[in-house]
Amino acid sequence: MNFDQAMIFTHVTEKAAIATLPWIGNGDKNKADDAAVQEMRRVLNNSNINGEIVIGEGEIDNAPMLYIGEKVGKGGPEIDIAVDPIEGTRMTALGQSNAVCVLAAGKKDSLLKAPDMYMEKLVVNSLAKDHIDINLPIEENIKKVSSVLHKKIEDMVITILDKPRHHHVIQKIRNLGAKVFLIPDGDVIASIQICMQNMPGDIMYGIGGAPEGVISAAAVHSLGGNMQAKLIPRNKVKGANLENDKISLEEIKRCKELNLKTESKLLLSDLVTSSSVLCAVTGITKGDILDGVSVEENIVKVDTLLIIGETKSIHRITSQYELS
């Protein structure tokens, strides 16, 4: 996928980010998300692609969003698309930092097709790419990575989502002596930061959404890092009850239909099968890497990272549009 083709998807995330502008700090995350989804769908459908959402926000029977299996575009090359119209809906609604619009795209059959469910993720940069195993305890992975990076354990920084489900893992990391960098949301940005070696953090670990995981994998693959993952049923993450058990049975059923096995190790090559992929990330609110959407008179400015797998290149793009 060349630069000109990649710019199609930059335009998609930029326009989706701009659509959230009225809802930044407004307090209503659902309205922010809906605005981004509708604009992302509109721009994709006006693009010269024959696209399919291979992982997104649910499936046609139970989600009004960009659903798994949805066809987009008005004709052109066959493209797999993984979407997260807003990574950080709560952060957008509260005006907090690091909210982004993000997607990954690649040639047909290049991205994992999976249900919208939880995914356990382990990410490192290119220097440590041959030294992780998600089946090992997190402490063992920290030791292996610290050795290859020639860092003391106490100098290792592990980025992890600040969620109750991670409290026991966070304690294990701190008991080992390593540092923990907690983030409220946003494991796509965190994965990119891990692979950009001038950014803080040595390992990204945690259980988050599978769509974000596939998008992260496209970025990690393009930046020469490594990622391993597991699809995790809801009741293993949120606890067993009637509702979670029912959802988990459906997730396991869908995984079987897609020839996937829950709680089984997925390599980066399972998540992304080709270098013909890209990741586009546009800032909504100002963050560690990107500026947020800003308006000056009738001009709106957006800041985007475009990561292209074939060239293993990162492009930071500042665009401006006239407000209609």
Per-residue model confidence (pLDDT) at position 63: 44
Spatial CA neighbour of 158 closest among 120, 118, 191, 185: 191
Beta strands, E only, the chain: 50-55, 71-72, 78-87, 100-107, 118-124, 157-161, 179-183, 203-209, 226-232, 277-283, 294-296, 299-308, 313-322
The domain total for the chain is 2
Residues in the chain: 324
Q: What does the pLDDT look like over 170-224, one tens digit per residue?
A: 999 999 999 999 998 889 999 999 999 777 899 999 999 999 999 999 999 999 9
Strand partners of residue 316: 305
3 vs 314, residue with greater confidence: 314
Instruction: Tell whether residue 118 is among the known ligand binding residues.
Output: yes
* Residue type present at position 230: K
Per-residue model confidence (pLDDT) at position 59: 60
Instruction: Tell whether residue 165 is among the known ligand binding residues.
Output: yes
245 and 282 part of one domain: no
Instruction: Tell whether residue 186 is among the known ligand binding residues.
Output: yes
267 and 178 part of one domain: yes
DSSP-derived letter for residue 149 is H
**Residue 113 C-beta-side C-alpha neighbours within 13 Å:** 19
Per-residue model confidence (pLDDT) at position 61: 46
Spatial CA neighbour of 309 closest among 17, 104, 130, 169: 104
130 and 260 part of one domain: yes
Instruction: Tell whether residue 52 is among the known ligand binding residues.
Output: no
Q: What are the C-alpha distances in Å from 54 to residues 38, 59, 91, 194, 292?
A: 18, 10, 26, 25, 28
Residue 131 lies in a domain: yes
pLDDT at residue 289 is higher than 60:
yes
pLDDT at residue 314 is higher than 70:
yes
Instruction: Tell whether residue 185 is among the known ligand binding residues.
Output: yes
255 and 293 part of one domain: no
Q: What does the pLDDT look like over 231-281, one tens digit per residue?
A: 999 999 999 999 999 999 999 999 999 999 999 999 999 999 999 999 999
Instruction: Tell whether residue 309 is among the known ligand binding residues.
Output: no
Per-residue model confidence (pLDDT) at position 4: 84
Instruction: Tell whether residue 87 is among the known ligand binding residues.
Output: yes
- Distance, in Å, from the CA atom of 222 to the CA atom of 276, rounded to the nearest integer, reads 9
Is the separation of the CB atoms in 139 and 235 below 8 Å? no
Residue 217 lies in a domain: yes
Instruction: Tell whether residue 75 is among the known ligand binding residues.
Output: no
Find the mean pLDDT for residues 109-119: 96
- Distance, in Å, from the CA atom of 63 to the CA atom of 60, rounded to the nearest integer, reads 6
Other beta carbons within 10 angstroms of residue 168's beta carbon come to 8
11 and 98 part of one domain: yes
186 and 290 part of one domain: no
CB-count burial class (<10 Å; 0-12, 13-18, 19+) for 75? exposed
Residue 196 lies in a domain: yes
Q: What does the pLDDT look like over 143-157, one tens digit per residue?
A: 999 999 999 999 999
What string of DSSP letters covers 221-276?
HHTT-EEEEEEE-HHHHH--SHHHHHHHHHHHHHHHHTT--TTS-B-HHHHB--S-
Instruction: Tell whether residue 187 is among the known ligand binding residues.
Output: yes
249 and 280 part of one domain: no
Please enumerate in sequence order all residues whose Cβ is within 8 A of that of 168, keeping only pairs 6 or more positions apart, or say none. none
- Distance, in Å, from the CA atom of 86 to the CA atom of 195, rounded to the nearest integer, reads 21
Instruction: Tell whether residue 67 is among the known ligand binding residues.
Output: no
DSSP-derived letter for residue 63 is -
261 and 289 part of one domain: no
216 and 265 part of one domain: yes
Residue 304 lies in a domain: yes
Query: Whole domain around residue 200: which residue ranges?
Result: 118-271
Is the separation of the CB atoms in 81 and 102 below 8 Å? no
Instruction: Tell whether residue 270 is among the known ligand binding residues.
Output: no
259 and 130 part of one domain: yes
Per-residue model confidence (pLDDT) at position 324: 75
Instruction: Tell whether residue 152 is among the known ligand binding residues.
Output: no
CA triplet 90, 96, 101: central angle to 5 degrees? 65
Q: What is the pLDDT confidence band of residue 131, given thresholds at 50, 70 and 90?
A: very high
Per-residue model confidence (pLDDT) at position 62: 46
Q: What does the pLDDT look like over 28-84, one tens digit per residue?
A: 999 999 999 999 999 999 999 999 999 987 664 444 489 899 999 999 999 999 999
